[in-house]
A and B are shown apart, each in its own frame.
Chain A
Amino acid sequence: MSGLRRVPAYLGLTVLTAIIVFPLYYAVAGSLMTDRELTTFPPALFPSGVTMQNYVDVLDAIPLVRQYANSIGVALVVVAGVLLTSLLSAYAFVFLRFPFKRTLFALFLLTIMVPGESLIIPNYLTISNLGLLDTFPALTLPFIAMGFGTFLLRQFFAAFPREIYEAARMDGCTHLRFMFSILTPLSRPALAALAIYAFIATYNKYFWPLLVTRTPEMQTLQIGLSQLQSLEAREPGLILAGVTLAIIPMLILIYFFQRNIIRGLTTGSGK
């Protein structure tokens, strides 16, 4: 193709991209505008100057730094838990012989099929009865095992050369040693995909943290953001500053780890 014939392609893609990216652009640009600029007609699309006041204000309105730490801390704990529990159970399903294997695996699949929202009432009551409302275990404990994680790793391990496993076992390698010094290093792509998947899923959770947290100090960033919404009409700039801060880690993740994410996303789509 000659250079000129590519112009329509670039033009079309640029227009589509601009429409899709507009909310991100507006969040960032708006967070730098004054509320006066944001509430004029026609709506301003470019900041006339740069003000950091919205960032100062949003940090006053909610304990954003603390909620940030909560969100990331909770997500990291869940990721660590999911990696470990999924590794152990996927290993058993692939490498070990035991009775009721199919039935047990079906139970794992069942947990993928059942939506968490359907279980939320008894789970809320369980957490409440255990006296765990408004604590970190309430935010992490129910999620440190994930049927999907076992499913994903099991598929990956199933392709692992059986000969290596048998040779290692012949040489007296224990299950744990085989798992952590041979299997895990060779399964890094699958583990990375699972880690990113679990991180995003946990970081973005909304319904559950809304129910089990009470104080702003225990709330996650998503709940903090929703609290800002009551200020929307009067202080849009403040909200947009909060959003900008909240989405930065996610955007970094998806922009830089796109390959791993796609691998996690498409497991089970038939490829």
Chain B
Amino acid sequence: MSVAVRPARRATGGGPAAAPERRRYDRREVLTAALLLLPSMAIFAVFAFYPLVRTFWLSVHANDLLGLPTRFVGLDQYVEFFSDPELRRITLTTAIFVVLTALPSVVIGVFLALTLQARIRGINVFRTLMSTPFGFSAAATAVVFAVFFNPAVGVFNGILRMVGLDSVNWLTDPTYALPSLAMVCVWSNIGYTLLVASAGLQGIPDELYEAARIDGAGRWTVVRKIVLPLLTPTMFFLTVIMTINSLQTFGEIHILTGGGPNGSTTTLVYGIYQSAFAYGGSNYGLASVQAVVLLLVVTAATWAQFRVLQRKVFYG
């Protein structure tokens, strides 16, 4: 995409044909544009630009118990966030959660989209049914899986016991809680990733398959040498979107683990919530530090996405 402005051509007025290429702006046109942009800009000013500046500001100020900023402390709270053993863990937990969620979401989504390339009747029914998780909100997903995770009567432990394995405390064992959450999020993501990957696959011309087949390439070779390379932009897009998406995961954590046990599922977003709003705490300073860290990571990911698309670095 590009943000280039269209060539300077005026629609109003209709002056002489030999008018110079760069003309001054038409006042009425500029005024119209201002009026048209005003509604969006007003909302953005109050709910995006102001809070953006305010979050940075809060992150360099200490606050009292009610959350009111008291004094400028520079980067002290950042240092605290990255050095305090309890807090430092949040960054690592977030990174692990993102890897455990984003990668499987993309890989499974692409795999499912490939299986949906089968040329059989009724394939659209399979595609539609497989996109089901996309219809589940975070809250709906979380409460259904809460029932599955129940240690005594849940389906997951039922399956484990049926094959002769020991029950697992999916959400209350610090070893399993984060992977369990990631599993829930992967399920809720694959509806989206398979739909996008399917759309990407449909953009690959049939002739390429035919040509490869005529040249005697096997099915797996076609996938590996033709389909996946052509799908690179889509997979890149999905990886970025899924990374951002898992960085922002909140509902599943809030409902299933509340950041526990022992903080083992407290990610950046959940850390913001806990510092600012949970347990009666109003530590807006520390919460804003985490908000800024989250912002930098997400913005970098989105920006990378835009840059790559702009340069059209396709077919890696």
Most buried by B among A6, A121, A225, A243: A121
Judging by beta carbons under 8 Å apart, are A123 and B30 in contact? Answer: no
CB under 8 Å from chain B, chain A span 1-36: 1, 6, 9-10, 12-13, 16-17, 20-21, 23-24, 26-27, 30
Does B305 count as interface, using CB distance less than 8 angstroms? yes
Confirm or deny: A60 has a beta carbon within 8 angstroms of a beta carbon on chain B: no
CB-CB under 8 A from B244, the residues of chain A are 115
List, in ascending order, chain B residues with CB within 8 A of A16's CB: 112, 115, 130
Alpha-carbon distance A96/B8, docked complex (angstroms): 10
- Kindly state whether residue A210 has any CB partner on chain B within 8 Å: yes
A residues in contact with B144, CB < 8 Å: 23, 26-27, 239-240, 243
Residues of A within 8 Å of B118, CB to CB, are 9, 13
Determine the residue in chain A with the shortest Cβ distance to B273: A207
Minimum CB–CB distance for A216 against chain B, Å: 15
Q: Confirm or deny: A186 has a beta carbon within 8 angstroms of a beta carbon on chain B.
A: no
Contact residues in B for A61 (Cβ distance below 8 Å):
none
Check if A226 sits within 8 Å of B284, measured CB to CB.
Answer: no
B19 at the interface (CB under 8 A from A): no
Of A17, A26, A96, A239, chain B has the most CB atoms within 10 Å of the CB of A96
In the complex, what's the smallest C-beta–C-beta distance from B59 to chain A, in angstroms? 10
Knowing A41-B158, A270-B237, say if A225 contacts B25 (CB, 8 Å).
Answer: no
Q: A121-B284, A207-B273 given as contacts; is B133 within 8 A of A98 (CB)?
A: no
CB contact under 8 A between A223 and B139, given known A16-B115, A169-B12: yes
Chain A interface residue count, CB cutoff 8 Å, equals 108
Indicate if B148 sits at the interface (CB-CB under 8 A): yes
Q: Give chain B residues whose Cβ lies under 8 Å from the Cβ of A206.
A: 137-139, 250-251, 254
Q: How many Å lie between the Cα of A223 and that of B251 in the bound state?
A: 9
Residues of B with C-beta under 8 A to A266: 196, 199-200, 237
CA gap between A109 and B6 in the complex, in Å: 18
Given A107-B44, A145-B43, A206-B254, verify A119-B51 contact (CB < 8 Å). yes
B298 within 8 A of A: yes
A112 and B3 in contact (CB under 8 A), knowing A40-B153, A89-B37, A204-B137? Answer: no
Q: Judging by beta carbons under 8 Å apart, are B40 and A222 in contact? A: no
Q: Do B150 and A236 touch (CB < 8 A)?
A: yes
Residues of chain A within 8 A (CB-CB) of B131 are 254-255, 258
Do the beta carbons of A270 and B314 come within 8 Å of each other? Answer: yes
Q: Which residues of A contact B3 (CB under 8 A)?
A: 102, 105-106, 109
* B39 contacts the other chain (CB 8 A): yes
Interface residues of B (CB under 8 A from A): 1, 3, 5-6, 8-12, 14, 25-26, 29-30, 32-34, 36-37, 39-44, 46-52, 54-55, 58, 112, 115-116, 118-120, 123, 126-148, 150, 152-155, 158, 161-162, 187, 190-192, 195-196, 198-200, 203, 233-234, 237-238, 244, 247-248, 250-251, 254-255, 269, 272-273, 276-277, 284, 287-288, 291-292, 294-295, 298-299, 302-303, 305-306, 309, 312, 314
Closest 9 pairs between A and B when the two form their complex, measured CB to CB: A122-B51, A145-B43, A206-B251, A119-B51, A118-B295, A269-B237, A204-B137, A122-B54, A222-B139
